[in-house]
Amino acid sequence: MDIEDSTLKQRKEYYDKSFPVETFYKWITRNKKYSDTRELSFTMSDESYIRYQHFKSNEELKRKLKEKVPIKFDIGAVFDKLLIGVTNTPLLREFIIDIDMDEYNDVRYCCQGTNICKKCWTLLVAAVQVLNYILHEQFGFNHILNVFSGRRGIHIWVCDDIAMEMTDTLRMNIVQYLNLFEAKHTNSQNESYIVIPGRHSLFDDSYQILEPLFNKYLQDEQIFECSERRSRFIRLIPTSKQSQCDEKEDLTWDYVKKILSDDPKALQRIVFTYLYPRLDINVSMKRNHLLKAPFCIHPATGNVCVPIPFNKIIDFDVTRVPTLISVQEERENKTEIIQNNRMEEEDSYNNSDNENDQKPKYSYKEFVQFFDSFVNDLIQ
């Protein structure tokens, strides 16, 4: 049996025995309400797509997953009808936001490319915390699911009925409101930065959330220790205060806050340039945009795209995400599993610098339980 065959067999088993098909189906069809018109799109191992799939029951969906064994599948909109060869009009869809680490390449120094570590995870934590807060407090959404994309990103699914019903124009307006990077400002060094046009609750609230993470970011990414990074940081400070920072040998964030204490806009500009969420706006604007489903296995990493409870995101360790293999081992009781409610206590594993040390994976079951309670809360 070659590798592809064995993965195929493992995937089939995953769909058969571990994928939470009942809850998943309940979620995407809102308890069968949209069973005839909710699109799923299968991606096959030859990269071809099978679009406009829809299912009358979770049993039918499971049968199809086992028969086709897609390497991943995406969730589309709820359409007026789902017929091949005619125009289907998307009507309803979760409001979705895609945060991809790619967007942060100019402020991420610890890793490159597809890598991700605990240090740069902070960038995603920052994005999730700000967006969840704004979506909840300013827009009043209550059912927000944060899902690990399987490699180095987070998908945010706003599932409230009122979010489902939003028109494309409304989605675009919300995205434009949230997206401070839209009008890209760059300085003479071609470095992007954010402009704060005035006082606004979006800026003030976001700053309150991001500022406590900023010191950790500065230390993790060695912004003051490395001269290039330090210079870039100083260029974000208003010109009149730059020399004060330049001369300061042991520059600290506390010192910068002190000299800019009368200029909140300047402080916001600095923090936001590094930590404010960078959105892939095209994903959010149109109802018919496809997005990878939670609990898919990422084709390249083998990681499960797990939904993460909001309060666990800050301590989440991406190197311990359940994989196709660990899920199978957990099912067969063959491996040590870390209970997710003990995430914060497991410092002994975090302190190990040896990359070859196999850290135990998080328990897959607990992500499924979390998803169950999220969906039950949504559909009442």
Query: Minimal distance in Å, beta carbon 121 to Zn ion?
Result: 7
Sequence-separated (6 or more) residues with CB below 8 Å from residue 195: 183, 185, 269
d(CA 218, CA 220): 6
d(CA 324, CA 139): 37
DSSP reduced 3-state for 343: helix
Query: Minimal distance in Å, beta carbon 149 to Zn ion?
Result: 15
Longest dimension (CA), the chain: 69
DSSP reduced 3-state for 286: coil
d(CA 362, CA 330): 10
* Nearer to Zn ion among residue 82 and residue 213 (C-beta): 213
* Nearer to Zn ion among residue 101 and residue 175 (C-beta): 101
Query: Minimal distance in Å, beta carbon 302 to Zn ion?
Result: 20
Q: Which of 23, 44, 25 is nearest to 36 (CA)?
A: 25
In the complex, which residues of this chain contact Zn ion (CB under 5 A)? 110-111, 117, 119-120
Q: Which of 93, 111, 127 is nearest to 280 (CA)?
A: 127
DSSP-derived secondary structure letter, 323: B
Q: Which residues pair with 186 in a beta bridge?
A: 192
Query: Minimal distance in Å, beta carbon 54 to Zn ion?
Result: 40
* Nearer to Zn ion among residue 119 and residue 241 (C-beta): 119
Query: Minimal distance in Å, beta carbon 120 to Zn ion?
Result: 3
Query: Minimal distance in Å, beta carbon 345 to Zn ion?
Result: 23
In the chain, the amino acid numbered 132 is N
Q: Residue 125: is it exposed, middle or buried by C-beta count within 10 angstroms (0-12/13-18/19+)?
A: buried
* Nearer to Zn ion among residue 119 and residue 359 (C-beta): 119
d(CA 25, CA 97): 21
Percent of the chain as helix, strand, coil, to the nearest 5? 50, 15, 40
* Nearer to Zn ion among residue 119 and residue 229 (C-beta): 119
* Nearer to Zn ion among residue 112 and residue 189 (C-beta): 112
* Nearer to Zn ion among residue 26 and residue 108 (C-beta): 108
Cα three-residue angle 32-35-36, rounded to 5 degrees: 145
Rg (CA), the chain: 22
* Nearer to Zn ion among residue 116 and residue 134 (C-beta): 116
Query: Minimal distance in Å, beta carbon 309 to Zn ion?
Result: 23
Query: Minimal distance in Å, beta carbon 354 to Zn ion?
Result: 17
Query: Minimal distance in Å, beta carbon 119 to Zn ion?
Result: 5
* Nearer to Zn ion among residue 85 and residue 113 (C-beta): 113
Phi, psi torsion values for 236, nearest 5 degrees:
-85, -10
Query: Structure tokens of 295?
Result: 């609990």
